[in-house]
Amino acid sequence: MVLFSWQACAVYLGWMAYTTLLHLLLPGIRKEGILLPDNTRLTYKLNGMRCFVVTMCLVGAGVYSGNLDLGWVHANFLALLTAAIIFSNTLSVCLYAGSFVGNKTLAKGGDSGNWVYDFFIGRELNPRIGGFDLKVFCELVPGLIGWLLLDLGFAQRQFQTTGAVSPAMGLVCAFQALYVVDALWFETAILTTMDVTTDGFGFMLAFGDLVWVPFTYSLQARYILVREGGGGCGTWDVGCRMRDVGCRF
């Protein structure tokens, strides 16, 4: 399994572009956040659930018609992970540099003067491009929905190679889907969380939202795929070895 590929980079950038456009184009509710240190309140556009429904409909139609192979994510998991790491690091650099431009509201914990710490924890409290709030968007849409798509990709790979989705795979996908749906259904609650009210948007949240959440939380489904068959051998599966006709950790 390759660590880097231009195809995976294109797919990941396409995913980020798609979710961004979907968020901007779909209607959503408008919700005011908490009172900021400068005695103002920001208004947030929230439509994560609508983005989720549209995405699931498109993915379902693509898989059903045979035009979309979600199982592709298994063979390209490491390359996708690398693309996500590059993107989150690039975004973090842009966020840190942008915090010095103009009159920005800074996070109390992110304005220490130590650039390493400020870069990590996040210097600007609510970085925005116009009315597009980068922090809330990354917290809700690309990472959470991407996590579930990785799960479903592993499930499809298992079905392709074994002819069935195992009960363990089905339960993992169902319970994690419940978590994602819950988060998006009650998305207004995120405006009262520490991530939004207190922490700046820097490497910690950018990496956490776009890399840690989707690529770590989906490892349960990936483990089941490899352990129960369908994951293939000779790839990035730690401790993967030949045993009879399959692989296992």
Boundaries of every domain in the chain: 6-248
Q: In the chain, how many H helices and how many E strands?
A: 12, 6
Residue 40 has a pLDDT of 84
Strands 241-243 and 132-133: unpaired
Q: Identify the pLDDT of residue 232.
A: 62
Following DSSP, what letter does each residue of 45-98 receive, concatenated?
A: EE-HHHHHHHHHHHHHHHHHHTS--TTHHHHTHHHHHHHHHHHHHHHHHHHHHH
Per residue of the chain (249 residues), give pLDDT as tens.
799 999 999 999 999 999 999 999 999 999 999 888 778 899 999 999 999 999 999 999 999 999 999 999 999 999 999 999 999 999 999 999 999 998 899 998 899 999 999 999 999 999 999 999 999 999 999 999 999 999 999 999 999 999 999 999 999 999 999 999 999 999 999 999 999 999 999 999 999 999 999 999 999 999 999 998 766 643 434 334 433 333 333
- What is the pTM for the complete model shown? 0.90
- The Cα–Cα gap between 154 and 240 comes to 17
Please measure the distance between the N-terminal and C-terminal CA atoms of the chain and give it in whole angstroms.
Answer: 16
pLDDT (0 to 100) of residue 39? 82
Which has the closest alpha carbon to 126: 152, 107, 112, 110? 107
Nearest CA to 53 out of 194, 187, 222 is that of 187
Upper half-sphere CA count for residue 118 (Cβ side, 13 Å): 18
- Give the Å distances, CA to CA, from 191 to 76, 125, 130, 166, 199: 34, 13, 18, 38, 12
